[in-house]
Amino acid sequence: MRMSNENINITTETKVLGIIVDQNLKFEQQKDLAKSTLTRKWNMMLPYIRHGLRPQVTRTILNTAILPKVLYNAYIWDINEEMSLHTCLKDLLGAPFNPSTETLHKLANTQTIHIRYANDILNLCRLAIEGSTINNILSQEKSTLQKKIRCYIVKLLGRHFTESPLQTADFKKSKVQKLLKEESTRSWATHMRQGHNSEGLLSQLEVTHLDHKPIPMCLPREITGQLCSLMTGQTKLQAFLYKLKQTYTPTCSCLMEDETVFHFINKCPNYRFLRDNIELDTADHMSIISYIEQSGRFGR
């Protein structure tokens, strides 16, 4: 196309305020860009992680430098079902096997993509209320964004617009954070009821235990990985390795029973004196870490 002696090239996409929109007004290329950006930036981090970068520092970089770039205005182009931080969190924690993504989020004490998305939506609602445009956001028009916002408000605030109109107080930062925390706890409880981590220490702890006592991230990645493996039950003990067909027997070296996490922590006679000396408490992360190190079961 030519106009005023200038050639105008036909393009299938355009970028508006940093968001790529294609000719069908969809965001598929933006989603692909976000995924590739996450992969590229994380690959840049991997050499430092493998050479001893502590999980605490890695998590800080992920939350403050990588994700804000990757998830820029994600509530507009809907990253909610498109991206997973599974690989990043697995590398961050040093988990030796493959726990579920939600478990990795819980162990690393990071928000899931779902909760991040909900937080952005509710922040958008707060700005809309402050700008006196809440009626536009909550109107009955059937735009995709409006439907998603309405869905999250109903789910997280548990209110019906016809019964009780939303007020500015409903979107105070403290209330939003409380709602998101409650939603996260409900999601984790459901995840555990579905049988995830049933063979690990997590199954013996309260659902909210990691909220009050998160895993210490200031330790070396190898130690964090060993602790996470005991938490999930996916560990280098005979019972789990036997399930993976990586050993010929699930039986512990004590020959009493299968070497499960529960047996290793609570019953194995090989470590009876060690348990007595350190006063082992499965609810105390540092106690478990001391037990792991002094037992020598997983090497150095």
pLDDT in tens, 2-13: 777 788 777 888
Where is mean pLDDT largest: 137-151, 164-178, 189-203? 189-203
Please give the pLDDT value at position 178.
82
Where is mean pLDDT largest: 94-108, 135-149, 165-179? 94-108
Query: What's 116-148 look like in SS3?
Result: HHHHHHHHHHHHHHHCCCHHHHCCCCCCHHHHH
Q: Which long-range contacts (CB under 8 A, 24 or more apart) does 169-175 make?
A: 171/122, 171/125, 171/126, 171/129, 172/126, 173/126
Residue 146 pLDDT exceeds 70: no
pLDDT, tens digit, 9 for 90 and up, residues 276-285: 888 888 888 9
Residue 140 pLDDT exceeds 90: no
Q: Are strands 6-7 and 2-3 parallel, antiparallel or unpaired?
A: antiparallel
Q: Quick count: other Cβ atoms within 10 Å of Cβ 62?
A: 22
| Phi/psi of residue 214, nearest 5 degrees | -65, 160
Mean pLDDT, range 230-246, rounded to an integer: 93
For residues 71 and 34, is the Cβ–Cβ distance under 8 A?
yes
Q: Quick count: other Cβ atoms within 10 Å of Cβ 113?
A: 19
Mean pLDDT, range 181-204, rounded to an integer: 89
Q: The whole model's pTM is what? A: 0.84
Please give the pLDDT value at position 119.
79
Mean pLDDT, range 42-58, rounded to an integer: 94
Please give the pLDDT value at position 7.
81
Q: What is the mean pLDDT of the chain?
A: 84
**Placement of tokens 């994380």 in the chain:** 42
pLDDT, tens digit, 9 for 90 and up, residues 53-102: 999 999 999 999 999 898 888 877 776 556 789 999 999 999 989 999 99
Residue 204 pLDDT exceeds 60: yes
Residue 246 pLDDT exceeds 70: yes
pLDDT, tens digit, 9 for 90 and up, residues 20-41: 888 888 888 888 888 999 999 9
Please give the pLDDT value at position 5.
79
Please give the pLDDT value at position 283.
85
Residue 142 pLDDT exceeds 60: no
By CB atoms closer than 10 A (0-12, 13-18, 19+), residue 4 is: exposed
Please give the pLDDT value at position 298.
86
Q: Report the distance separating Cα 73 and Cα 68, nearest Å.
A: 9
